[in-house]
Amino acid sequence: MDEIVKELVEICPVDELEPGQSKIIDINNRSIGVFNVGGNFFALANLCPHAGGPLCKGQVTGTSVADKPYAVSWQRSGEIVRCPWHSWEFDIATGKTLTDPTRSVRTFKTVVKNGHLYIETGASR
Protein backbone atom coordinates (compact mmCIF):
# COMPACT_ATOMS: atom_id res chain seq x y z
CA MET A 1 0.00 0.00 0.00
CA ASP A 2 1.27 3.47 -0.90
CA GLU A 3 2.28 5.83 1.86
CA ILE A 4 0.96 9.40 1.56
CA VAL A 5 3.66 11.92 2.35
CA LYS A 6 2.40 15.37 3.28
CA GLU A 7 4.52 18.32 2.34
CA LEU A 8 4.16 21.98 3.29
CA VAL A 9 4.95 24.27 0.38
CA GLU A 10 5.53 27.95 1.09
CA ILE A 11 3.39 30.26 -1.01
CA CYS A 12 4.28 33.76 0.20
CA PRO A 13 4.37 36.02 3.24
CA VAL A 14 0.79 36.36 4.51
CA ASP A 15 0.73 40.12 3.91
CA GLU A 16 1.44 39.63 0.20
CA LEU A 17 -2.03 38.17 -0.36
CA GLU A 18 -4.58 40.71 0.83
CA PRO A 19 -8.28 39.94 1.31
CA GLY A 20 -9.90 39.64 -2.12
CA GLN A 21 -6.65 38.71 -3.83
CA SER A 22 -5.58 35.39 -5.29
CA LYS A 23 -2.55 33.93 -6.98
CA ILE A 24 -1.81 30.90 -9.08
CA ILE A 25 1.27 28.80 -8.40
CA ASP A 26 2.73 25.65 -9.90
CA ILE A 27 3.78 22.85 -7.57
CA ASN A 28 5.12 19.60 -9.02
CA ASN A 29 3.52 20.35 -12.42
CA ARG A 30 0.18 21.03 -10.76
CA SER A 31 -1.45 24.45 -11.05
CA ILE A 32 -3.11 25.62 -7.81
CA GLY A 33 -5.05 28.79 -7.04
CA VAL A 34 -4.65 30.34 -3.58
CA PHE A 35 -7.31 32.78 -2.39
CA ASN A 36 -7.70 35.18 0.53
CA VAL A 37 -11.41 35.40 1.34
CA GLY A 38 -11.95 37.85 4.16
CA GLY A 39 -8.67 36.96 5.83
CA ASN A 40 -9.08 33.19 5.45
CA PHE A 41 -6.90 31.31 2.97
CA PHE A 42 -8.08 28.58 0.62
CA ALA A 43 -6.40 26.62 -2.16
CA LEU A 44 -8.05 24.93 -5.14
CA ALA A 45 -6.77 22.93 -8.07
CA ASN A 46 -6.72 25.19 -11.11
CA LEU A 47 -8.58 22.56 -13.10
CA CYS A 48 -12.32 22.76 -13.49
CA PRO A 49 -14.07 19.38 -13.06
CA HIS A 50 -16.52 20.26 -15.86
CA ALA A 51 -14.17 20.31 -18.85
CA GLY A 52 -10.71 21.09 -17.51
CA GLY A 53 -10.81 24.89 -17.72
CA PRO A 54 -8.42 27.11 -15.75
CA LEU A 55 -10.91 27.62 -12.93
CA CYS A 56 -8.75 29.78 -10.69
CA LYS A 57 -8.24 32.36 -13.46
CA GLY A 58 -11.96 33.05 -13.25
CA GLN A 59 -13.62 36.04 -11.64
CA VAL A 60 -13.97 36.06 -7.85
CA THR A 61 -17.52 37.13 -7.31
CA GLY A 62 -20.76 36.42 -5.48
CA THR A 63 -23.89 34.78 -6.78
CA SER A 64 -27.55 35.46 -7.37
CA VAL A 65 -29.98 33.66 -5.08
CA ALA A 66 -33.74 33.51 -5.53
CA ASP A 67 -35.36 32.54 -2.24
CA LYS A 68 -38.79 32.92 -3.82
CA PRO A 69 -40.13 34.01 -7.23
CA TYR A 70 -39.12 37.56 -8.26
CA ALA A 71 -36.97 37.94 -5.14
CA VAL A 72 -33.43 37.60 -6.45
CA SER A 73 -30.64 38.89 -4.24
CA TRP A 74 -26.87 39.12 -4.59
CA GLN A 75 -25.11 37.11 -1.89
CA ARG A 76 -21.71 35.76 -0.85
CA SER A 77 -19.71 38.48 -2.57
CA GLY A 78 -16.04 37.50 -2.80
CA GLU A 79 -16.67 33.86 -1.80
CA ILE A 80 -17.28 32.39 -5.25
CA VAL A 81 -14.99 31.78 -8.24
CA ARG A 82 -16.62 31.53 -11.66
CA CYS A 83 -14.91 29.33 -14.24
CA PRO A 84 -13.87 31.42 -17.28
CA TRP A 85 -14.88 28.71 -19.76
CA HIS A 86 -18.56 27.97 -19.06
CA SER A 87 -19.29 29.97 -15.89
CA TRP A 88 -19.77 27.18 -13.40
CA GLU A 89 -19.58 28.73 -9.94
CA PHE A 90 -17.58 27.21 -7.07
CA ASP A 91 -17.53 27.92 -3.36
CA ILE A 92 -13.89 28.86 -2.76
CA ALA A 93 -14.01 27.54 0.83
CA THR A 94 -15.25 24.04 -0.04
CA GLY A 95 -14.48 23.61 -3.74
CA LYS A 96 -18.09 22.52 -4.37
CA THR A 97 -20.17 23.82 -7.25
CA LEU A 98 -23.16 25.92 -6.27
CA THR A 99 -25.62 24.18 -8.55
CA ASP A 100 -24.54 20.60 -7.88
CA PRO A 101 -22.63 20.18 -4.60
CA THR A 102 -21.79 16.59 -5.56
CA ARG A 103 -19.37 18.06 -8.12
CA SER A 104 -16.29 19.72 -6.71
CA VAL A 105 -12.73 20.74 -7.43
CA ARG A 106 -9.85 19.40 -5.35
CA THR A 107 -8.96 21.55 -2.34
CA PHE A 108 -5.71 21.80 -0.42
CA LYS A 109 -5.25 22.60 3.24
CA THR A 110 -3.67 25.99 3.95
CA VAL A 111 -1.43 26.69 6.92
CA VAL A 112 -0.24 30.04 8.31
CA LYS A 113 3.00 29.76 10.25
CA ASN A 114 5.39 32.48 11.36
CA GLY A 115 3.79 35.04 9.05
CA HIS A 116 4.00 32.86 5.97
CA LEU A 117 1.31 31.03 4.04
CA TYR A 118 1.80 27.38 3.10
CA ILE A 119 -0.33 24.76 1.44
CA GLU A 120 -0.24 21.10 2.25
CA THR A 121 0.25 18.79 -0.67
CA GLY A 122 0.45 15.05 -0.62
CA ALA A 123 2.15 12.50 -2.79
CA SER A 124 2.14 8.72 -2.79
CA ARG A 125 5.42 6.83 -2.53
Smallest separation (angstroms) from ligand FES to the CB of 83:
3
Find the binder of ligand FES among 88, 91, 118, 119 (CB under 6 A): 88
Residue 48 engages ligand FES in binding (rule: CB under 6 A): yes
Name which of 90 and 118 has its Cβ closer to ligand FES.
Answer: 90
Residue 90 engages ligand FES in binding (rule: CB under 6 A): no
Residue 61 engages ligand FES in binding (rule: CB under 6 A): no
What is the rounded distance in angstroms from the CA atom of residue 6 to the CA atom of residue 11? 16
Name which of 86 and 113 has its Cβ closer to ligand FES.
Answer: 86
What is the rounded distance in angstroms from the CA atom of residue 4 to the CA atom of residue 23? 26
The DSSP string of 70-97 is T-EEEEEEEEEEE-TTT--EEETTT-BB
Q: Cβ distance 118 to 11 under 8 Å?
A: yes
Considering only CA atoms, which of 25, 8, 6, 22 is closest in space to residue 114?
Answer: 8
Residue 53 engages ligand FES in binding (rule: CB under 6 A): yes
Per CB under 6 A, residues contacting ligand FES are: 48, 50-53, 55, 83, 85-86, 88
